[in-house]
Amino acid sequence: MDTLIGDWIGRIAEAARSGRPLAIRGGASKAFYGGPEQGEAFDVSAYRGIVAYEPTELVVTARAGTPLVELAAALAEEGQWLAFEPPHFGPAATVGGMLAAGLSGPRRQAVGAVRDFVLGVKVLTGLGEVLSFGGQVMKNVAGYDVARLMAGSLGTLGVVLEVSLKVLPLPVAERSLRFALDEATALARLNQWGGRPLPISASAWHDGVLTLRLSGAAAAVAAAQRELAGEALGDAEGEAFWDSLREQRHSFFAGDAPLWRLSLPSATSVQALGPTLIEWGGAQRWLRGGDPMGIRAAAAKAGGHATLFRGDQALKRSVGVFQPLTAPLARIHRHLKRAFDPQGVFNAGRMYPEF
């Protein structure tokens, strides 16, 4: 592996000299996300394998090219998993791509996001330096938490070589429930239930139906089910539903209409911006089609932001993938990019055209 990294350092140096950017690529399962790739493909998938795993410590360290399915299988043997349910979007998904994209699945509302599970990273910078941040325990950070900064950076700061992650035991019991509710009532119920000690691990509303998932101790799940009522789904049906949501195989995600992802305060009222699917207790809202400027303005007015999650390249170029940055945030982004990748070698334009 040292030889491989040495070869990469040489290629990075050549890219910096020639001014030709490199497009970091692992499994390419999330290549659709973010701005279009620019420059030469830089395949990092060969740097793979689980480096260390301590089930009793709830910590695993894996190289970035490790397939997520391989990591999930190793964790499952010990009755553990990545509780934030990262979407794969294909069998080739890797640990590095998971971290770079920073995407979390339906359980994010209960357990936290990808960044909340990152304990440490090893990164290859645009200067050809191998740097390590964080460690393998929760309380390991003094100063700026660079390890978590890598979550969602889309490879613009460097090549992630290794990542240490907190893992959790698989749920003891789960049950999914359905309720026939309009959007406004569903949002009100979700916010009401969110303030109570209920073991809700996921929620989704679409087309007049609210689906909840309860997870935890068998007694707690059974008690919550009795209290909430609703139509109980079979175990296989519930699992298939949440898997289709995580991997965007649900019918809502079919078709070519632009897909927008809105992050809003959970109590935000119905926006009526287009066909909608709501997750995370009301905080994540997916939209199909609609007016880009209207969507961005509505999200900002509500105190959130809107991301063009899927769309053709012409639309991405015209409106941008991510909500435009304020001047102070743009300055922070520029400083970070300059510190890790001053020559602009990595993933040019994947987040914002100027980075």
Contact (CB, 8 A) for 304 and 262: yes
pLDDT digits (tens, 9 = 90+) for 174-203: 999 999 999 999 999 999 999 999 999 999
- Percent of the chain at pLDDT exceeding 90: 92
Cβ-Cβ contacts under 8 Å for 37 (sequence gap 6 or more):
23, 25, 31, 347, 350
pLDDT at site 355: 81
For residues 203-212, give the mean pLDDT: 98
pLDDT at residue 136 tops 70: no
pTM of the model: 0.94
Contact (CB, 8 A) for 79 and 13: no
For residues 298-322, give the mean pLDDT: 95
For residues 206-232, give the mean pLDDT: 97
Q: Nearest 5°: phi and psi at 162? A: -140, 155
Q: 126 exposed, middle or buried (CB, 10 Å; 0-12, 13-18, 19+)?
A: buried
